[in-house]
Structure 1
Amino acid sequence: MDVDGRPQSVPVLSRRQKVIYQFTQQNLPACKPVLTPAWVIATFLSLGFIFIPLGLLALVASQSVVEIVDRYDTDCIPEVFRSNKVAFIKDDSIPKNCTRYFKVHKPMKAPIYVYYQLDNYYQNHRRYVKSRNDRQLLYGLRYNDTSSCKPEETNSGLPIVPCGLIAWSLFNDTYRFVRGAGELRINRKNIAWRSDREHKFGKHVYPFNFQNGTLIGGGKLDPTIPLSDQEDLIVWMRTAALPSFRKLYGKIEEDLEENDVIEANLFNYYNSYSFGGKKKLVLSTSSWLGGKNDFLGFAYVAVGSSCILVALFFILFHVKNPRPYGI
């Protein structure tokens, strides 16, 4: 009723308005679980019984991966240059070829992934990570602002494509494998993420004025191949978060049998000696969980075991000091 005694109409709320009204007035139904001892103990036991089998499965998958790891940066230096490795790697007149042998101790099923591993290499350094230009990688010379690429933005007054320290320091060691009398072919296609190839590197962008200065950093790029097809560069440009990392070099699509002797012919070009880095060659199979990594399995087992121990502690505490509900 209004002040004059006449009936007042009540506004009809829409469904959306009703929901908003209930939310603003805190009239929505709420779940208020009561953590009784039985619920807490059952929850911890369930977590333990779930996590421990998952951790064991992860460990089994990791142990099924076969790896061959060979550090070659020291052994591929001639004896006379062992005391001055930097002088060796910078002298272009000295051959950099090196031959390594290793034996396959367990059968390795294809595909066998070939990685190069670098240690003590901080790709996550802020100045290094920022020294790139993603628009230039996608549009090339149509995008002229290369100020973010300092100190490798221009050379002789012309822009560098791709610019920046990341591209400038491209890894350039090469590998070739021989088993018996035949060469093991390395497939170097599709080693980069598809999203990177199609959306981050231009299909009509070609290297320009790259590694033409007096200070050469790493590998060179073929100026006749667009950046979207230079997968070595694409893999390298995805910077690593940790100072020890692996990057995919290629895939061997043949099985290796037990006791096979593999001859690795490599060229030791990359200068990791100036900063005390290490270089390793890695051959690895994979499992349903990926490469060899025991951390995930141990983490699941540790968390599951901790949950069960906590549940047992609560059981003993509840038996010794029972407390009726509501007190």
Structure 2
Amino acid sequence: MSDSVKSKKPANTAFKQQRLKAWQPILTPKTVLPTFFLVGAIFVPLGIGLYIASEKVKELMFDYTDCQSGGTPSAPITNWSWNAANKTCTIDFKVDEAFNPPVFMYYRLTNFYQNHRRYVKSFDAEQLKGSQTTPSGKGLDLCDPLKTPPQGTTVRINGQDVAVSPNAQYYPCGLIANSMFSDEISNLTSISAAQPSGGTYVDYTFTENGISWPSDKDRFKQSTWLDKPDDELLRTLIPPPFWAEAWPEKYAHGYTRDTIPNINTWERFQVWMRTAALPTFRKLWGRNENTALMPGVWRITIRDTFGVQKFGGRKAIVLSTVSLLGGKNPFLGSAYIAVGVISWILGLVFLFRHMIKPRKLGDHTYLSWNQPQQNAGAAPQRMPEVGGERSSLMHR
């Protein structure tokens, strides 16, 4: 073997030889018992603080699923009525105590599985960023089965029905965008609620500005297809099928240049596109940062186009304030209190056991080979021969 070709032996490092320094705690009553009591002393006060902060959050929720079917309303709803002509539900509800700003309005859905694997993947990131994607691109493949409109689809341009272009695509494509929550919720109108100054409220308004995460601004941009002429633009970008059904006055015959949504500023769309992890969830609809919601009876009108019967769910409106820790969540405080109390109980049990029957540390009589009841009847085992010599007999 030449000098240039030499075998390289791996370096015998402490890592490869498993000789790294390590520390293993020796669990004794003097170390374990104080740990249990210390965990309890930390977790119980912290849990009480979290629970109190959660209880300070004021929340009002009412379910309006059965308004369309003529069901009986439940508190805090005092009355509701359904207008079949324009599909609107008018609800009067009672607020018992003042909600100090900021006040948030959410919609709440149950039994809606946004965490389904195929559903979560069903969007084209490049299309949402404004790129001029085509059906042959890999990104749109993730949107199947809502990638492109079926053959024979037409759109109306200048009063004439024309066939869509070869690059026609749903915009936005995919299952998430298509299933967007479509109910239109109005601001609140006062029926009998007074301002602190003695006047009467007319409307309590909510805005969608600031309801989405700032990071979402980078995910959603206006489509660059808008740079194309009207004929090419309107034959290429097609509204999702559910949008055309929920908002027929806008999208039944395709987009116009004025109705193509600007997803960069449409924050309610951005909120919907951030999928929920659990089948029961709430999403932010609007916020009021400046005005208190005073006690009294308020009216809200909802244009009901989002059917929940198809997936066996329910929908509700939630009005809520927040604390330093966010919305109402008593579970977190309860969990901390439970862990602290359990730690105290275990500490007391082990302390009582140690005081009644202490165990001598390092007592070799507890070793397995010193237990006569285990060694009775055990036959000696012969160790295999090593290096031509027979090893001595050993007992278990």
Q: Per the shorter chain, which TM-score range?
A: 0.7 to 0.9
More displaced stretch, 168-177 vs 200-209: 200-209
Q: Does 1:60 align with 2:79?
A: no
Question: What secondary structure, in the 3-state scheme, does the structure 1 residue paired with 2:98 have?
Answer: coil
> Partner amino acid for 1:95?
N
Contact 1:206/1:224 (8 A) holds in 2? no
Distance (whole Å) between structure 1 residues aligned to residue 242 and residue 336 of structure 2 = 52
1:213-292 map, 5 Å: 213=241, 216=244, 218=246, 223-253=259-289, 254-257=291-294, 259-292=295-328
Report the CA distance between 1:215 and its aligned residue: 8.2
Partner of 1:116: 107
Report the CA distance between 1:293 and its aligned residue: 1.2
> Partner amino acid for 2:146?
E
Name the CA shift for 1:215/1:283 in 2 (closer, same or farther; >3 Å): closer
Name the CA shift for 1:163/1:270 in 2 (closer, same or farther; >3 Å): same
Question: What secondary structure, in the 3-state scheme, does the structure 2 residue paired with 1:196 have?
Answer: helix
Q: Does 1:298 align with 2:334?
A: yes
Name the CA shift for 1:26/1:119 in 2 (closer, same or farther; >3 Å): closer
Task: Return 5+ residue gaps in structure 1 as ranges.
Answer: 1-17, 80-91
Asked which structure has the greater CA Rg, the reply is 2
Report the CA distance between 1:300 and its aligned residue: 0.8
Distance (whole Å) between structure 2 residues aligned to residue 290 and residue 205 of structure 1 = 37
Partner of 1:148: 142
Q: Does 1:167 align with 2:177?
A: yes
Name the CA shift for 1:134/1:218 in 2 (closer, same or farther; >3 Å): farther
Distance (whole Å) between structure 2 residues aligned to residue 130 and residue 150 of structure 1 = 10
Q: Does 1:178 align with 2:189?
A: yes
Question: What secondary structure, in the 3-state scheme, does the structure 2 residue paired with 1:60 have?
Answer: helix
Name the CA shift for 1:244/1:218 in 2 (closer, same or farther; >3 Å): farther
1:104 is aligned, of 95, 98, 120, to 95
Q: Does 1:70 align with 2:98?
A: no
Report the CA distance between 1:123 and its aligned residue: 1.4
Contact 1:138/1:205 (8 A) holds in 2? no
Contact 2:134/2:169 (8 A) holds in 1? no
Contact 1:170/1:218 (8 A) holds in 2? no
Report the CA distance between 1:204 and its aligned residue: 4.5
Partner of 1:9: none
Name the CA shift for 1:171/1:296 in 2 (closer, same or farther; >3 Å): same
Name the CA shift for 1:212/1:298 in 2 (closer, same or farther; >3 Å): closer
Partner of 2:379: none
TM score, norm. by length of structure 1: 0.81
Distance (whole Å) between structure 2 residues aligned to residue 100 and residue 212 of structure 1 = 30
Question: What secondary structure, in the 3-state scheme, does the structure 2 residue paired with 1:74 have?
Answer: helix
Name the CA shift for 1:205/1:115 in 2 (closer, same or farther; >3 Å): farther
Task: Return 5+ residue gaps in structure 2 as ranges.
Answer: 1-10, 72-82, 154-165, 191-199, 227-235, 364-396
Report the CA distance between 1:143 and its aligned residue: 5.6
RMSD (CA atoms): 2.6
Contact 1:191/1:249 (8 A) holds in 2? yes
Name the CA shift for 1:205/1:41 in 2 (closer, same or farther; >3 Å): farther
Name the CA shift for 1:306/1:214 in 2 (closer, same or farther; >3 Å): closer
> Partner amino acid for 2:31?
W
Write out per-residue CA displacement over residues 172-194 of structure 1, whole angstroms, 9 at most, x where no aligned residue.
11222112551111111111111
Question: What secondary structure, in the 3-state scheme, does the structure 2 residue paired with 1:305 have?
Answer: helix
Distance (whole Å) between structure 2 residues aligned to residue 214 and residue 242 of structure 1 = 23
Distance (whole Å) between structure 1 residues aligned to residue 297 and residue 65 of structure 2 = 21
> Partner amino acid for 1:197?
K
> Partner amino acid for 1:320?
I
Report the CA distance between 1:206 and its aligned residue: 6.8
Report the CA distance between 1:324 and its aligned residue: 3.0
State, as a whole percentage, how many aligned pairs show the same letter.
37
Distance (whole Å) between structure 1 residues aligned to residue 121 and residue 245 of structure 2 = 17
* Higher RCO (CA 8 Å, separation ≥ 6 residues): 1
Report the CA distance between 1:301 and its aligned residue: 1.0
Q: Does 1:308 align with 2:344?
A: yes
Contact 2:128/2:223 (8 A) holds in 1? no
2:220 is aligned, of 193, 196, 201, to 201
